[in-house]
Amino acid sequence: MNHKILCSVATLALVLVGTSANAQYNLSIDSATAAPGDTVTLAVTLDSSAGDNLQGWSYGVCHDSSSLTILASDANSLLGPLAATANGGSAPDFVQGTVEAGGYALGVVISLLGANTLPPGSGVVSSADYTNDMPDGGSTTVSICDTLGTPPVASVVVVGGASLAPTTSDGTVTSVQPTVVAHINGDANQDNIVNLADGIWILNYLYQGGPGGSCAAADDANDDGGVDAADAVYIIQYQFLGGAAPAAPFPDCGLAAGQEAEDCLSHSACP
DSSP string, 135-162: PTT-EEEEEEES--TTTTPP-EEEETTE
pLDDT reported for residue 177? 85
Q: What is the pLDDT of residue 1?
A: 39
Counting beta carbons within 10 angstroms of the beta carbon of residue 4, is it exposed (0 to 12), middle (13 to 18) or buried (19 or more)? exposed
Q: Are strands 21-29 and 32-34 parallel, antiparallel or unpaired?
A: unpaired
Q: How many residues can be counted in the chain?
A: 271
pLDDT reported for residue 13? 39
User: In this predicted structure, what is the pLDDT of residue 19?
Assistant: 55
Beta strands in the chain, from DSSP E residues, in sequence order: 21-29, 32-34, 39-47, 56-62, 68-70, 94-100, 103-109, 122-132, 139-145, 156-159, 162-169, 171-175
Which pLDDT does position 268 carry in this prediction? Answer: 92
Convert 49-82 to b/e letters by CB count within 10 Å (16 or more is b).
eebbebbbbbbbbbbeeebbebebeebeebbbeb
Domains identified in the chain and CATH numbers? 3-175 (2.60.40.680), 196-263 (no CATH)
Query: In this predicted structure, what is the pLDDT of residue 3?
Result: 36
Whether the predicted model's global pTM rises above the 0.75 cut: no
Residues 6+ apart with CB under 8 A from 195: 235, 239
Residue 209 falls in which region: left (phi positive, over 0), alpha (psi -120 to 50) or beta: left
The torsion angles phi and psi of 40, rounded to 5 degrees, stand at: -125, 140
Q: SS3 of 53, please?
A: coil
b/e map 186-215, b = 16+ CB within 10 Å: bbbbbeeebeeebbbbbbbbbeeeeeebeb
Rounded Cα distance, 35 and 180, in Å:
12
Query: For the chain, how big is the Rg over CA atoms in Å?
Result: 26
pLDDT of residue 213: 79
Mean pLDDT (10-residue bins), the chain, 271 residues: 38 47 96 94 98 98 98 89 96 95 96 95 98 96 96 96 97 92 95 96 93 90 94 96 94 92 91 78
